[in-house]
Amino acid sequence: MYTIEEAYKDTYPKLAKQLEELGIKTTTQLKKRFESNGKYVSEVLDYDLKDNEKIRSIAESPTPLNKKTFIGGAITLSFIVGLPLYLFYKLMKWIYWH
């Protein structure tokens, strides 16, 4: 989930303030508005339809992975894969010596 300011700061810098005045602070909230009215930004804030579609596509795009999410996922994956391998190694070692 992005804040509106993070998502649109480069392409539509004024949009964040306009939507915040309407009580919309995240892309998830904006996406819900688009679900009920596909032309929400066009009708409420007087943007043209082309801009409305660009804004909508940004709101509906998935949030990219940040560094913490990626590292946490990598640690979890290494634990899931590494633990069974380690236990298998220990079992084989025990079988060999007994």
pLDDT tens digits along 28-67: 899 999 999 999 999 999 999 999 999 998 888 876 555 5
- Kindly indicate the confidence band of residue 93, based on its pLDDT and cuts at 50, 70 and 90: very high
Please check whether residues 54 and 76 belong to one and the same domain: no
**Per-position DSSP letters for 3-15, written without gaps between them:** BHHHHHTTT-TTH
82, 53 Cβ separation under 8 angstroms = no
Contacts of 26 (CB under 8 A, 6+ apart): 1, 2, 3, 4
Domain range spanning residue 27? 4-60
- Per-residue pLDDT for 25 more than 60? yes
Please check whether residues 44 and 77 belong to one and the same domain: no
pTM: 0.60
